[in-house]
């Protein structure tokens, strides 16, 4: 197993001339994954000395360092610099950065404070680390994540592999859908979560290098050209911030249930129907009575949070009956005559309309094709998010509002034209639909095609298949389950690109070059084996899906990609 910067890939000096493009990413990922599996196994056995030793080995390895650099140079923040204004935007800089990821003499620079607008009109502060600090966080996250996944609560779904908001929604449904289910909900909200986490608690409890963690927590923030010391909280915007947040609230479910069983016994505790469903710092607690939640449960939660320097928001935390309903993660959960219905909440619907209105206003002088291309990703993403719930009515209402918004857009462009002329110019019948906002677009063969606005009401409603609570992505016994789950969800994501779905299924979800898994986080590129300029066709037999970085590697080194055998 590798212990320095020269193993797994070979000597760093021997690869200096080839650099970044010569790295064998399949071997890199396999080497890191083997160590992560060993860390998870040691965690499950409670062998913490071995966990620490394996984490040290991983963070010193060339493979983990290369993978950390790759992560921070291929994500959405790759063009956002820290206080040093440095970017790793060339292969030479990326390869040189691997050697800079050393603990010895490491000192993180202060974070660059930026503000992004929130839905309530306020601003959310983000702390942007430098590229080197981001890569160091990504490196130590590789060692921390197997431990976190092994000790996390079963019903914690935020920022964890193969878990999403729909899993949390499905668990709430299971907890509240029956007549004998819990009828009362503690809808909790933590006040200033990221800003008030106790530093000393994190240093004492997070299972990672304490000196490195202390440096990150105490590095300070540059806000409006002033250096501000950080005495509490963890900054939003860092690579490792979601993992630290999850670790802080980890135990909220398991420790609460253990407390109730110790106080009332296992049998009576089960009758209380207490369940905790958490997504990052948002969570709800179910129970059989209002008194139970407001006295016993809430007091315990207050003590649990106080130990970590946190507290519940008095104004936003409330106890409600399921017949009244509550909002969580963009959905409204409520029972109507004893039947639980989950719908998009009013805030989510209004936010979509405001976003569509802004896009329409920004494209007053644009072509119809450009407007449709700007609206379709927004509409498709919103519809896919709400497709597992009762959303048909919301989809139809939104389509109606959007229709009149587009009508005003078209009428403004042609104020002297009659309604019939405008309708024929921008709308046409498609199938059994009479009014479809459609534009003609040129195709590569010289003919004309048709681009239509995404149909919200045509989105199929399908129940979400929830991940199992005990699933651990670093446990080898769960490997087959995780692979199947990932492929099913990716195929659902690709539903509206049937050709991608076919390629993804044929390749078993693996990159055609490095043969490592592809998902939403890694991304993918539709690559032509024989280039179109060389006479290659657009048929599926001449196309494969590969990672974006593998695609750049193919073109920079002139590699030949072989069509994999169908699954």
Are 178 and 283 found together in one domain?
yes
Domain boundary among 150, 166, 187: 150
CA angle 360, 364, 367 (to 5 degrees): 95
Q: Is the pLDDT of residue 497 over 80?
A: no
Pair 184, 191: CB distance under 8 Å: no
Are 145 and 168 found together in one domain?
no
Q: Is the pLDDT of residue 151 over 90?
A: yes
Q: Is the pLDDT of residue 405 over 60?
A: yes
* β 111-117/221-223 pair status: parallel
Residue of higher predicted confidence among 542 and 38: 38
Q: Is residue 564 part of a domain?
A: no
Are 438 and 375 found together in one domain?
yes
Q: Is residue 566 part of a domain?
A: no
Are 237 and 351 found together in one domain?
no
Confidence of residue 244 (pLDDT cuts 50, 70, 90): very high
Mean pLDDT of 468-495: 87
Q: Is the pLDDT of residue 426 over 60?
A: yes
Pair 67, 10: CB distance under 8 Å: no
DSSP state of 510: B
Interatomic CA distance for residues 530 and 358, integer angstroms: 42
Confidence of residue 12 (pLDDT cuts 50, 70, 90): very low
Are 49 and 114 found together in one domain?
yes
Interatomic CA distance for residues 434 and 425, integer angstroms: 14
Could you tell me where the beta strands, DSSP code E, fall in 181-323?
A: 184-189, 221-223, 226-228, 275-279, 282-287, 318-321
**Nearest partner of 298 among 191, 190, 198, 188, judged by Cα:** 188
**pLDDT at position 16, please?**
37
Measure the CA dihedral 397/403/404/408, to 10°.
160
Average pLDDT, the chain: 88
Strand, helix or coil at 434?
Answer: strand
Measure the CA dihedral 229/235/240/245, to 10°.
120
Are 259 and 125 found together in one domain?
no
H helices within 414-478, ranges in order? 419-426
Q: Is residue 8 part of a domain?
A: no
Interatomic CA distance for residues 116 and 504, integer angstroms: 35
Are 253 and 315 found together in one domain?
yes
Confidence of residue 212 (pLDDT cuts 50, 70, 90): very high
Are 192 and 308 found together in one domain?
yes
Record the tokens describing residue 9, joined without a space: 């890939």
Q: Among 276-280, 393-397, 442-446, which stretch is predicted with the lowest mean pLDDT? A: 442-446
Record the tokens describing residue 19, joined without a space: 């650099």
The answer for 430, left when phi > 0, alpha when psi is -120 to 50, beta otherwise, is: beta
Q: Is the pLDDT of residue 59 over 90?
A: yes
Confidence of residue 286 (pLDDT cuts 50, 70, 90): very high
- The full length of the chain comes to 567
**pLDDT at position 14, please?**
38
Domain boundary among 150, 165, 186: 150
Are 509 and 386 found together in one domain?
no
Are 322 and 383 found together in one domain?
no
**pLDDT at position 445, please?**
66
Record the tokens describing residue 122, joined without a space: 């306020």
Q: Is the pLDDT of residue 539 over 90?
A: no
**Nearest partner of 549 among 73, 102, 184, judged by Cα:** 73
Strand, helix or coil at 126?
Answer: strand
Long-range contact set of residues 190-195: C-beta below 8 Å, sequence gap at least 24: 190/281, 190/305, 190/310, 190/311, 190/312, 190/313, 191/310, 191/311, 191/312, 191/313, 191/316, 192/233, 193/245, 193/281, 193/310, 194/233, 194/234, 194/235, 194/236, 194/241, 194/245, 194/281, 195/232, 195/233
Interatomic CA distance for residues 526 and 532, integer angstroms: 12
> Which CA distances in Å does 191 have to 309, 336, 475, 524?
11, 31, 35, 38
Mean pLDDT of 481-487: 88
- Looking at the structure of the chain, the number of domains it has is 4
Domain boundary among 115, 150, 185: 150
DSSP state of 566: P
Pair 461, 391: CB distance under 8 Å: yes
Q: Which residues contact 559 (CB under 8 A, 6 or more apart)?
A: 513, 553
**pLDDT at position 527, please?**
87
Q: Is residue 416 part of a domain?
A: yes
Pair 278, 157: CB distance under 8 Å: yes
Q: Is residue 193 part of a domain?
A: yes
Are 70 and 170 found together in one domain?
no
pTM: 0.87
**Nearest partner of 153 among 251, 71, 34, 232, judged by Cα:** 251
* Domain that residue 509 falls in: 476-557
**pLDDT at position 15, please?**
43
Q: Which residues contact 489 (CB under 8 A, 6 or more apart)?
A: 162
Q: Is residue 4 part of a domain?
A: no
Q: Is the pLDDT of residue 17 over 50?
A: no
For the chain, percent of residues with pLDDT exceeding 70: 95
Give residue for tokens 């995404």. 454
Q: Is the pLDDT of residue 565 over 50?
A: yes
Q: Is residue 445 part of a domain?
A: yes
Phi and psi dihedrals of 533, rounded to 5? Answer: -65, -20
Q: Is residue 249 part of a domain?
A: yes
Q: Residue 156's CB: how many other CB atoms inside 10 A?
A: 26
> Which CA distances in Å does 464 have to 159, 165, 344, 401?
18, 10, 15, 28
Are 351 and 270 found together in one domain?
no
CATH at 507: 1.10.30.50
């Amino acid at each position: 197993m590798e212990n320095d910067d020269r193993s797994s890939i070979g000597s760093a000096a021997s690869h200096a001339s080839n650099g970044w493009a010569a790295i064998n990413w399949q071997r890199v990922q396999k080497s890191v994954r083997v160590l992560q599996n060993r860390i998870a196994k040691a965690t499950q056995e409670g062998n913490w000395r071995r966990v620490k030793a394996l984490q040290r080995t991983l963070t010193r390895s060339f493979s983990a360092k290369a993978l950390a650099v790759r992560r921070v140079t291929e994500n959405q923040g790759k063009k956002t610099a820290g206080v040093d204004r440095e970017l790793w935007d060339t292969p030479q800089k990326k390869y040189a950065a691997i050697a800079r990821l050393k603990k010895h003499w490491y000192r993180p620079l202060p974070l660059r404070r930026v503000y992004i607008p929130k839905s309530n009109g306020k601003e959310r502060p983000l702390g942007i680390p430098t590229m080197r600090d981001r890569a160091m966080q990504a490196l130590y996250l590789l060692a921390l994540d197997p431990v976190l996944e092994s000790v996390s609560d079963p019903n914690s779904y935020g920022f964890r592999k193969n878990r999403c908001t729909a899993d949390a929604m499905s668990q709430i449904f299971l907890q509240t859908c029956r007549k004998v289910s819990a009828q009362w909900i503690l809808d909790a909200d933590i006040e200033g979560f990221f800003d008030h986490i106790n530093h000393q608690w994190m240093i004492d409890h997070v299972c990672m290098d304490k000196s490195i963690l202390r440096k990150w927590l105490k590095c300070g923030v540059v806000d409006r050209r002033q250096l501000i010391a950080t005495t509490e909280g963890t900054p939003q915007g860092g690579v490792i911030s979601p993992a630290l947040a999850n670790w802080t609230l980890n135990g909220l479910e398991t420790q609460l249930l253990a407390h109730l069983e110790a106080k009332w016994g296992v049998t009576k505790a089960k009758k209380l129907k207490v369940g905790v469903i958490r997504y990052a710092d948002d969570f709800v607690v179910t129970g059989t009575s209002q008194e139970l939640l407001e006295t016993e449960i809430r007091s315990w939660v207050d003590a649990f949070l106080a130990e970590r320097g946190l507290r519940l928001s008095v104004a936003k935390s409330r106890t409600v009956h399921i017949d009244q309903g509550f909002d969580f993660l963009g959905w409204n959960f409520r029972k109507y005559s004893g039947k639980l219905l989950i719908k998009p909440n009013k805030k989510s619907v209004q936010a979509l309309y405001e976003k569509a209105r802004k896009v329409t206003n920004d494209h007053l002088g644009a072509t119809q094709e450009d407007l449709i291309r700007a609206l379709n990703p927004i509409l498709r993403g919103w519809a896919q998010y709400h497709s597992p719930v009762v959303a048909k009515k919301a989809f139809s209402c939104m389509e109606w509002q959007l229709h009149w918004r587009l009508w005003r857009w078209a009428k403004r462009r042609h104020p002297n034209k009659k309604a019939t002329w405008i309708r024929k110019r921008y709308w046409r019948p498609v199938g059994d639909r009479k009014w479809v906002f459609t534009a003609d677009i040129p195709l590569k063969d010289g003919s004309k095609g048709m681009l239509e606005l995404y149909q919200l009401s045509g989105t199929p409603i399908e129940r979400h298949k929830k991940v199992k609570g005990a699933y651990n992505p670093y446990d080898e016994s769960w490997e087959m389950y995780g692979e199947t789950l990932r492929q099913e969800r990716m195929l659902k994501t690709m539903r509206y690109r049937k050709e991608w779905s076919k390629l993804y299924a044929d390749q078993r979800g693996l990159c055609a070059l490095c043969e490592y898994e592809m998902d939403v986080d890694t991304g993918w590129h539709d690559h032509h084996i024989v280039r179109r300029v060389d006479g290659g066709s657009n048929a599926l037999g001449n196309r494969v899906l590969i990672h974006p970085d593998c695609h750049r590697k193919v073109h920079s080194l002139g590699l030949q990609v072989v069509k994999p055998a169908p699954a």
